[in-house]
Amino acid sequence: MSVGDEYRGQMWREVLALCELRRDEGVIVLTGESSHLQNVDAAMRAAVSLGARPFRVELPPVPPWQHGADDRTAAVGTTPLSGNPWALGALKQAGLIIDLLGLLHSPEQVELLAGGTRMLMVVEPPEVLARMVPTRDDKRRVMAANAALAAARSMHVRSGAGTDLRLGIGQFPTLPEYGYADVAGHWDHWPSGFLSTWPNEGSAEGQVVIDVGDMLFPFKRYVESAPIRLRIEAGFIVDIAGGFEADYLKRHLASYRDPGAYAVSHVGWGLQPRARWTGLGMRDKAQSLGMDARAYYGNFLFSTGPNAEAGGGNRSACHVDIPMARCSLWLDGQPMLIDGDVVAPDQAVEGAGSQ
């Protein structure tokens, strides 16, 4: 269902107000060939209506990558900003960057944030944004979880399907996402509502079973044929077994010809009750990045590939996100999720259950 101009403007003004947009700061709307035109227009108009004087930086696309995928997360690290010091210099002058292009997992994004610029990425279509307009309570819930994650030194994840994964944590920072960028140097993503961190180098051990109904990105598909079993040793996937989707995943990782593609990357859990497990099946794949799947309340989000944005040495271009249902997760022995239900009281939403 489309979103009318009036409501689209209203929700953008609401989000930019949450971003603490000031009249006296530079605001850049970063766009590219794939940016949603309604978002471009709404971002500019909303910033002006709040008294700011934004301007737009448009970057041309990079040459197509060898995989030919149209999903922006299929190959990470290189963006239209790569190798463009003039555009990067302009972006460094902004207090707030509204990223409608997608700089995620790039060294340029890390550099911009280190300079104190705050950044809000928005790449979903307006109808998805409208359902998940962030609130201050989203931030409260995510930051409560973030405090527990930042203090912990171990994570243990299990599921009835057979997952039994242990990870050391604390070597790398946490990444809370609550939907707006209100603090200097903070990156966020609208829509979102989850948090993650990266495991200590070489610490991930055990088995991950991606069950039927769990999701694979960037393929944007539910697992349907049979569970996928990943054996993990010293932080890397060493064996992949299962049905068709397991073979597809195996071939995809191998196509990068990079051992770093098999590393365990960020891990965390979803806390957004307005996101839907069913969302992936309701849209054309090209229309959405799939934030419903990544953020839905009670999921365990497991991923593979790089950790360079957190300060690690893995710069693999291959990144796979895998939202999983009905998992249990403990931090230092304290439960956060049990069978996909959020059980930590300060993270819970009344009436919200596992999806």
Using CA atoms, how far residue 5 sits from 50, 191, 295, in Å, is: 17, 19, 26
Which residues, at least 6 apart from 158, have a Cβ–Cβ distance to it below 8 Å? 164, 165, 327, 328
Report pLDDT for 9. Answer: 94
pLDDT digits (tens, 9 = 90+) for 198-240: 999 999 999 999 999 999 999 999 999 999 999 999 999 999 9
pLDDT digits (tens, 9 = 90+) for 4-40: 889 999 999 999 999 999 988 999 999 998 899 999 9
* Average pLDDT, integer, range 322-337: 98
Token digits for 129?
Answer: 């944004």
Give this prediction's pTM: 0.92
Q: Which is more confidently placed, 112 or 355?
A: 112
Contact of 329 with 100, CB cutoff 8 Å: no
Report pLDDT for 73. Answer: 58
Q: How far apart are CA 7 and CA 245, in angstroms?
A: 40
Contact of 291 with 321, CB cutoff 8 Å: no
Helix (H) or strand (E) holding 44: helix 37-49
Band (pLDDT 50/70/90 cuts) for residue 256 is very high
Look up tokens 């700089």; give the residue. Answer: 103
3-state secondary structure of 38: helix
Quote helix, strand, coil % in the chain, to nearest 5: 30, 25, 45
3-state secondary structure of 116: coil
* Average pLDDT, integer, range 101-124: 92
Band (pLDDT 50/70/90 cuts) for residue 64 is low
Report pLDDT for 237. Answer: 98
Which domains, ranges and CATH numbers included, belong to the chain? 5-130 (3.40.50.980), 134-186+193-347 (no CATH)
pLDDT digits (tens, 9 = 90+) for 238-250: 999 999 999 999 9
Report pLDDT for 48. Answer: 95
Percent of the chain surpassing pLDDT 90: 81
Pairing of strands 96-99, 27-31: parallel
Contact of 222 with 276, CB cutoff 8 Å: no
3-state secondary structure of 214: coil
3-state secondary structure of 55: strand
Helix (H) or strand (E) holding 251: helix 244-255
Contact of 149 with 173, CB cutoff 8 Å: no
